[in-house]
Amino acid sequence: MVSSSPGAPRPWPTAPTSEVWATLSPEQRTETVARLEAMGLPDELLQAMGEGDRHLDAKIAVRETLRTYFARRGQRTYVSASQAVHHPGEPMFVPDILAVRDVDPHPRTSWFVSAEGKGVELVLEVLVEGSRKKDLVDNLERYARLGIEEYFVLDIQTGNLHGHRLTEVSGRPRYARVVPQAGLFASTVLGLELGLVGGQLRFYQGSAQLLTAQDLAGKLERMVDELVVKHDEERAAKELERAAKDEAHAARVQLEDQLRQTIVALLTARGLTLDEAARERLEATTEAALLGRWAVRAATVATSAALFADH
């Protein structure tokens, strides 16, 4: 832990250069990563990150949409929001969204380039009340110098999207503007296209728009309602016969199994897992309506424990 005098601003953590990193033993590397992560965020950066709900909501929507998409495809792409990046010899920076291809997408405390063996490939900044000069001018020079392949800015202030892709000018890395086609910006890192719909950032694969977590929750809620109504109607219509009651029971058991599978699949796609006690509770629950509410919630909860928050 790096200490500072009382009242003094916290320093900017700076990762060792590649040359210094190469001289460190495995134990020293582990200690270096832990020390820099323990320093926390500088006061200047903490102040700049407090841009309100529009800033936070936009970041969460992008992160969850991309994580769900890549998890469903089984694609090893790491996506994170407000993740500290430690680049060799550089003061730490914290982009709103970062993405890296062909890596294990397990949870991380920070992206330490020397330890990962790979730098950040895409950054997206959400501009609400922050510094326009930082996002639209300064970052163009810095991110290009660091070799970040693509840089996008969602400018909520003006309702615009800016895209940049790395190139070389006179032997030096520079960004060239990504020219939108039919209003969409192509990202080679994500393998998707980006566009604005009603002021919100949306992603497209071909002509298909990716559903956000909120979209999925609404769609799933409608599906659950339809399944429950259909099940209840079928059961009521056949209640006069014993055989029909048996069929209704079997159908309900099947519905409950489908809902349990949906809950587990949604949580898994979003990188969340249920412990043994939670799985036992899920298996023991036989109320289709309750399982349906949990299935809707599984598309948006921040932790698996929140699935049962009101029960």
The whole-number pLDDT of residue 88 equals 95
As averages over each run of 10 residues, the pLDDT of the chain (311 residues) reads 47 89 94 88 60 85 92 94 94 95 94 96 92 91 96 92 92 93 94 90 88 63 68 69 71 84 85 86 85 84 81 58
18-209: what CATH class? alpha beta
Query: What pLDDT score does 2 carry?
Result: 39
Give which of 87, 83, 131, 130 is closest to 107, Cα–Cα: 83
How do the domains of the chain map onto residue ranges?
18-209, 213-308
Give the per-residue pLDDT at 163: 96
